[in-house]
């Protein structure tokens, strides 16, 4: 299961935006949810948390966005999820 480590100074707002974007990506891949968030940890004004991508969504993203991933400088999906989130 791929894991992405995220950090923000606006946790509540950013969590809503990330969840909305991930739900859109999951819907495009015909996957019900397909991700979950880890427990947040706040330190020094920053909040750190993880997002776990289920295998079904991971492969859905890979299948649905193969061309986008290749055009964005390489075939490594974990380096390009942020690009897809911004486009959704």
- 40, two tokens: 């947040």
Q: pLDDT digits over 21-35, tens only?
A: 999 999 999 999 899
Q: What is the pLDDT of residue 76?
A: 57
Residue 41 belongs to what domain range?
A: 3-87
Q: What is the pTM of this model?
A: 0.73
Lookup result for tokens 């079904």: 56
* 8-state DSSP, 38: P
Work out how many domains the chain is built from and give that number: 1
Q: What is the pLDDT of residue 77?
A: 56
Q: What is the pLDDT of residue 86?
A: 55
Label residue 57 exposed, middle or buried (CB < 10 Å: 0-12, 13-18, 19+): buried
> What is the number of alpha carbons within 13 Å of residue 40 lying toward its C-beta?
14
Q: pLDDT digits over 19-75, tens only?
A: 999 999 999 999 998 999 999 999 999 999 999 999 999 999 888 888 877 776 655
Rounded Cα distance, 75 and 67, in Å: 9
């Amino acid at each position: 299961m791929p894991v992405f480590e995220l950090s923000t100074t606006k946790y509540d707002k950013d969590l809503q935006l990330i969840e909305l974007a991930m739900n859109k990506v999951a819907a495009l891949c015909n996957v019900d949810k397909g991700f979950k968030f880890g427990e947040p940890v706040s330190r020094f004004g920053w909040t750190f948390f993880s997002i776990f991508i289920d295998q079904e969504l991971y492969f859905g993203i890979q299948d649905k966005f193969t061309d986008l991933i290749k055009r964005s400088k390489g075939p490594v999906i974990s380096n390009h999820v942020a690009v897809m989130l911004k486009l959704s």
